[in-house]
Structure 1
């Protein structure tokens, strides 16, 4: 066990055991004080890191003398300073594909919940307000045969299109940095400009990566283009949306409802969103099933081991340099 690995977040117990059998393992524990100070100390002689949900950059990594790889148990990597990692020739690995179907399931859960007002009417029923047959005040919207607009037709966007097209007979529109004719053929999907998609869609789902192009992609002007009955869903990153503009669009009923799994600040403790009945708020659970999280942890473990063994990992964010 001549190599050391730092675990910087909660990790599947079986995967942690695998690590402990192969490497010297140090675990960051928030109960033991300042996390960044723990990281600074633990990475001094670490070869690898594995985990998710921490900001990792020069501030808490500058003591790392021999760090070769950070293996993230996630697809997104906006919390890692990629430029710094590249400058230090530190591999950054992630876990794409294994969470695609689970996250697409969650996106459709938000569509259904927001359109049929599930959380709101659940509270209404439990509050003893169901005293007679429901009236128009409790009506929601149909999903089948409507138009689904997907912003970002990557793996998750395509899985969502599949569900909409084959499961609900929906008309599929999409906006992407590049057209994807293969998806257009499979799902009978039509490429649109962003304004066109926003104007025509009954349901709008954001499934883009967070980058310089997508930050604040949806704001006041974009909500103004949406139809009054539109349902807006965000499963991408909170920073893709101007949250204040979304709150105003919901308050003024500029749009019908929203379903959110991500926010500008997480974990979300206080927000005007909590005061609104026409928004479903989930705590960033896109991949949060036992089966999928285990698959993600296993892939992250495999990526870590590959780099430390001197071979190419299955999934890497920055394949900019080769092993020495």
Structure 2
């Protein structure tokens, strides 16, 4: 971790592809947690980085790194945290603010891709795309005849929990399909004409589909619980592209198993990468491994966006996408 050249140190605490790594190294002296041969755990690596001459004032992290008091104690030189995630539940924003550490996230880099993925999951669940594809692959079509009918998307009442950057894009896409949009957020939004519901239970009771697109915080952990699922009802579908813990996963499994809801499309899980085994055998459930954000285009955009935030910080300019404590609520 020795210093070299006139470039500032940047602490890199997430795996990146070769192009991303090269772009960072063109501009900074990168201290890479994932460098070949590096075996230190995160906090030990951060502490070692803090001991180099001209220690790093900025770090690039992902959702797999928790930035809290212990982390900041290990790196007292840090004044900027750039997260490549959109969610902020892995960062103690209040503690960062107390210590004068600026925080930026990925902003809207992923928003379009996540919205597309949410619609894809919903279409898959309703039209049973994945399940019918497996029916064909198993050779069941000639033997058992036509596959059972799916359900139409157009006309569905879709309740969106969290009408932020992603939730708004989901709403616009589903409106184009002829869906009726309702939503729940911290407060009503004057910019939209969708019907507002002050809580998730009432939203679910008036919806055929519930889409979870909110941030994860104390107020939204298990915002979709047993009561909400029961309010959604036996013909209802849940889609989650927020955070796994936005849904009480144990109650979701029970609701699916007992037919209390009709199906689910899930990109996130409460204890990733562990997924409840019961879901694997349910053909009314579509699963993806937390990939809604990932496309080739978003990876390229993320690199440019991350470097833009770093360059703004080192030049004393405002961050491109600064976040603060109330950013956790939508």
Q: Same fold (TM over 0.5)?
A: yes
Counterpart of 2:213? 207
Deviation for aligned residue 1:221: 0.9
Q: What is the rounded CA distance, in whole Å, between the counterparts of 1:146 and 1:319 in structure 2?
A: 35
Aligned pair 1:105/2:124, yes or no? Answer: no
Deviation for aligned residue 1:130: 1.1
Aligned pair 1:155/2:165, yes or no? Answer: yes
Aligned pair 1:41/2:52, yes or no? Answer: no
Find 2:19's aligned residue among 2, 8, 14. 14
Q: What is the rounded CA distance, in whole Å, between the counterparts of 1:163 and 1:76 in structure 2?
A: 22
Counterpart of 1:5? 10
Counterpart of 1:177? 186
Q: What is the rounded CA distance, in whole Å, between the counterparts of 1:147 and 1:134 in structure 2?
A: 32
Counterpart of 1:267? 273
Deviation for aligned residue 1:57: 2.3
- Which consecutive residues of structure 2, in runs of 5 or more, have no partner in the other structure? 1-5
Q: What is the rounded CA distance, in whole Å, between the counterparts of 1:133 and 1:123 in structure 2?
A: 13
Q: What is the rounded CA distance, in whole Å, between the counterparts of 2:114 and 2:12 in structure 1?
A: 25
DSSP-derived class of the 1:169 partner: coil
TM-score by length of 2: 0.89
Deviation for aligned residue 1:269: 5.4
- 1:209-248 matches, within 5 Å, as 209-248=215-254
Deviation for aligned residue 1:237: 0.8
8 Å Cα contact 2:201/2:227 also seen in 1: no
- 1:20-169 matches, within 5 Å, as 20-29=25-34, 32-36=38-42, 37-44=44-51, 45-53=55-63, 54-131=65-142, 134-135=145-146, 138-166=148-176, 168-169=177-178
Deviation for aligned residue 1:270: 5.4
Deviation for aligned residue 1:133: 7.2
**Per-residue Cα deviation, 1:138-179 (whole angstroms, up to 9, x for no partner):** 22111112211111111211111111112x111111112111
Aligned pair 1:312/2:311, yes or no? Answer: no
**Per-residue Cα deviation, 1:59-100 (whole angstroms, up to 9, x for no partner):** 344221311111111211111222332232111111112221
**Per-residue Cα deviation, 1:181-222 (whole angstroms, up to 9, x for no partner):** 3211xxxx2222433321121111011111221111111111
- The count of aligned residue pairs is 314
After superposition, the Cα gap between the structure-2 partners of 1:81 and 1:43, relative to the gap in structure 1 and judged at 3 Å, is: farther
Counterpart of 1:278? 284
DSSP-derived class of the 1:174 partner: strand
Q: What is the rounded CA distance, in whole Å, between the counterparts of 1:69 and 1:172 in structure 2?
A: 38
- Which consecutive residues of structure 1, in runs of 5 or more, have no partner in the other structure? none
**Per-residue Cα deviation, 1:84-128 (whole angstroms, up to 9, x for no partner):** 322321111111122211111000011011112222222222111
CA RMSD in angstroms comes to 2.1
Deviation for aligned residue 1:319: 8.9
Q: What is the rounded CA distance, in whole Å, between the counterparts of 2:151 and 2:133 in structure 1?
A: 16
